[in-house]
Structure 1
Amino acid sequence: MELIISLIAGAVGGNVAGKTVSSINQGTLINSIAGIVGGGVGGQILSMIGAGALSGGGMDLMGIIGQLASGGVGGGALLAIVSVIKNAMSK
């Protein structure tokens, strides 16, 4: 269940990042795909390093908040990386 929360939060994070920073916006589909991948990776990394109460060790409130935060940030971060790579390749 934690992975699903991270994936959904990543998709939302990727789209929010794309809409907020127009220079990294790649369209809804690419924003969502990058966000899903980034959210899954971000959630897993946070769980592996055990970042205190936000490590997502369960379905308690802090675990859910941690998964939402890490998924959203991971999704936005991966979208930024994809955008930089795509812009570098187009030059």
Structure 2
Amino acid sequence: MKSIVALQSVVTPWLDGLEPSDAELDAIEVEMPLVLAEVDLLDAEIAVLDRKPSDLDAQRIRRARRRMLAARRDLINQSIVAVNMRDGAA
């Protein structure tokens, strides 16, 4: 039996700069509530792909959609406030 592992010692060299910067990690942390809300909505939608949604399923999807929209609204509002503060407008 032949091995199919890479013959090179390192397939992808680890270069400096491959890790996210502190600013990128902060941006991810700010966006995390929206990401989690989108995942919840996707989970609710996937659960009903192969069947007709029951009333409970429809309610779960509506709630997840509302949470996602609220998280999106909050993120946009935070962005607007940050831009206004940066530009000196209050």
TM-score, normalised via structure 2 length: 0.42
Point out which structure has higher relative CO (alpha carbons under 8 A, 6+ apart): 1
Larger radius of gyration: 2
Larger helix percent: 1
TM-score for both structures, normalised by structure 1: 0.42
